[in-house]
A and B are shown apart, each in its own frame.
Chain A
């Protein structure tokens, strides 16, 4: 289906909106009425038609505006995109993966013509038409990773694999849930995950790393992660926390429905062919509470998950102070009826709210 790209902002006046279609395909991250960290990974082999799982790199109505926001973040702080010297080959791998996937999955939006190492890339939504020599950095306006990730929604960690570990040696990070690439670059899997509560003790990271080290080319994997964000702010970076932190205190019972957003990350994992690196795209989807409540199942479930979430997780995710206000709001959408399994909204079969 053709996509109408929104003209919207993720800062200042926050004109970001989700269309009805975007709400229906929102990746609600809870498959049951409670939540705890787990090794929740599955193959990334498509999914229901028009769902966010269908394509390898989902492109949606926010594409053009998100890329504009990324350019603004980078203009303010170039350190959000970094690549250690040995990661250039992995950058080319990533450029190829994205160009090939997007041109195959969205032929009306993206085209790639290849004649040996002479490549011609057309990105219609962003009005880009570039010819360059594959593997020759001097023929692109940026390094290969930066070039392609300025044109692709989501953050990107590019990992080097060595010593049975993964090393965060490159990345484009402008839509992160409060962690710093500049600080974490060069760390291994256990080091950059150090601040996460409870998961180390449960052995989750040991098992997750084992899974990742064995990901094969052509067999990508995925998982969902989530947090909470006040206002549809993409750049919730620690770098700018002294500027946006105050917005968390601006919630009121009157504005919470429109201001409070569930922030969901579709995280995917692809093996890179030449470098044997791994790329970890972290695609951020935002949805306001009031839009989520249009699904009776999601309303019931979100209330139960937030109510029963362990304190450590609510603290780590940064919404412990606002949880009581969230629960006041969400409880109005929970009538105690059972919910069906799985993340999909099931608009046709789930009973309407009984109160």
Chain B
């Protein structure tokens, strides 16, 4: 599975590409779940000799395959939240010419991209490739709480419990799409859940 063609959408929605090995002194690859496949697809021994991989398996079993690439550094984290301080630390040390590769879910790529931008990495040195789940990281516009990995529309806010519909409007600063109350004008009338692109 794992390569999904996103339908055309509005201007705030990010678009993702396909990773390619770029010349650079050092390389930082951050991926979750099936994002590992995108790394496996570009890996060469030369590239890996200068690469730090930060990987969050999310229940998949790609970690050993990545380890077998013999990257210069390899870290397997249990969750993104647990890995983020390490990501920040690595980006702090970034030297001129660092190449950043992000692969996997939108939530992972969005958040890691934010960290890279905050660390001053030029956007031209950051590549992204979507792989795996098409779940979205959603912000509830009402309570501001973030719900990770939302697969259905509508969904229930994990913080305030409102029924929210999934908008395409996307904030790079929050690395999240916007969720808005679906039954405000007819309380209790919540349409059946369906997959986001169904």
Contact = CB atoms under 8 A, between A and B. Distances in A.
Interface of A: 79, 180, 182-187, 190-195, 200, 238-246, 248-249, 321
B10 A248 contact: no
B184 A185 contact: no
Given A246-B185, A246-B187, A238 B141 contact: yes
Given A200-B11, A241-B180, A186 B172 contact: yes
Contacts of B162: 242
A169 to B, nearest CB: 10
Most chain B Cβ neighbours within 10 Å, of A183, A195, A246: A183
B12 A191 contact: yes
Contact of A185 (B13, B170, B173): B173
Given A187-B12, A195-B169, A242-B142, 6 more contacts: A186-B172, A194-B10, A194-B168, A194-B170, A238-B180, A242-B184
A211 to B, nearest CB: 18
A268 to B, nearest CB: 24
Given A194-B13, A195-B10, A180 B187 contact: no
Contacts, number: 66
Contacts of B186: 249
A95 B123 CA distance: 34
Interface string B175-198: 000101100111100000000000
Given A182-B144, A242-B142, A191 B181 contact: no
Contacts of A192: 12
Contacts of B113: none
Contact of B181 (A190, A194, A241, A321): A241
Given A238-B141, A242-B162, A183 B178 contact: yes
Contacts of A321: 185
Interface of B: 10-13, 139, 141-142, 144, 162, 167-174, 178, 180-181, 184-187
B142 to A, nearest CB: 6
Contacts of B170: 194
Given A183-B174, A186-B172, A195-B169, A241 B142 contact: yes
Nearest to B185: A245
Contacts of B13: 194
Contacts of B187: 246
B190 to A, nearest CB: 13
A129 to B, nearest CB: 37
Given A79-B144, A183-B171, A186-B173, A246 B11 contact: no
Contacts of A186: 171-173
A343 to B, nearest CB: 31
A250 to B, nearest CB: 10
Nearest 3 A/B pairs, CB to CB: A245-B184, A194-B12, A194-B10
B193 to A, nearest CB: 19
A79 B141 CA distance: 12
A192 B144 CA distance: 18
Nearest to B181: A242
B110 to A, nearest CB: 13
Contacts of B185: 245-246, 248-249, 321
Nearest to B174: A183
B171 A187 contact: yes
A183 B139 CA distance: 9
